[in-house]
Amino acid sequence: MKLLVFGATGPTGKEVVAQALERGFQVTAFARRPGAVPARERLRVLSGDTVRDPQAVAEAVRGQDGVVSALGVRNSFFPRGLMQRSLANIVPAMDAAGVRRFVLMSAFGVGDSKKDAPMMPRLLYHTLLACIFADKHVAEESLKRSTLDWTIVYPVLLTHAPRSVRYRAGERLELRGFPSISRADVADFMLRELVGRRFVRRTVVLSD
């Protein structure tokens, strides 16, 4: 399978790239800092910016079988429209290239998922994370209006724990306290879902 990964230099994106290579995929990593992606067999690295470089995005999408996005802001509570502007380039590029399968990592608490959030995390969603989540929500609504075979993944609090493959996945989950899941398990699910297609045109919550 030929897979394009956006956000390949982030902590979750790195897991997606590594696990996709383990599975035998041919991987294209799209990154603003291509030097941050170590060279490996069956890995192609392309330089570009999902917000400012629609032509580079279009060229990266061509010939792929699927696309995974692990895009996100780092060390900031102000996304500056990162997800809205990125998907405004990614979705048309996929349409034009005839690439339909898209798995997008979002965050639990975005959109309707916040209704099922425990009390303490919900306070964060309405305060520190409000701008980030608003950007994600607008981007996701535009994706839902597309004709792509999308899946939106809502992981709870992300950790750096190793892959366990003992996580839960569902459109709604019973959650208490501050639930968490490792980035490695999120990557595992995204790659399984890319091929397994259980949640096409649906959202899915992930938690330990």
Q: What is the pLDDT of residues 127-145, one digit of tens each?
A: 777 899 999 999 999 999 9
Q: Which of 11, 93, 81 is nearest to 48 (CA)?
A: 93
pLDDT computed for residue 154 by the predictor: 97
Helix axes 119-126, 130-144, angle to 10 degrees: 90
Average pLDDT value for residue range 179-189: 97
Give the alpha-carbon dihedral of 49, 94, 45, 156, to 10 degrees: 80
Could you give the CA distance from residue 185 to residue 190 in angstroms, rounded to a whole number? Answer: 9
pLDDT of residue 176 exceeding 80, the answer is: yes
- Beta carbons of 35 and 206 less than 8 angstroms apart: no
Of the chain, the percentage scoring pLDDT greater than 70 comes to: 96
Q: What is the pTM of this model?
A: 0.94
Position 177 confidence tier, pLDDT thresholds 50, 70, 90: confident
Q: Which domain holds residue 115?
A: 2-207
| Domains identified in the chain, total number | 1
Q: Which positions ≥6 away from 34 have C-beta within 8 Å?
A: 45, 46, 47
pLDDT tens for 49-94 read 999 999 999 999 999 999 999 999 876 666 789 999 999 999 999 9
CA angle 174, 180, 183 (to 5 degrees): 125
Q: 179: domain CATH number?
A: 3.40.50.720
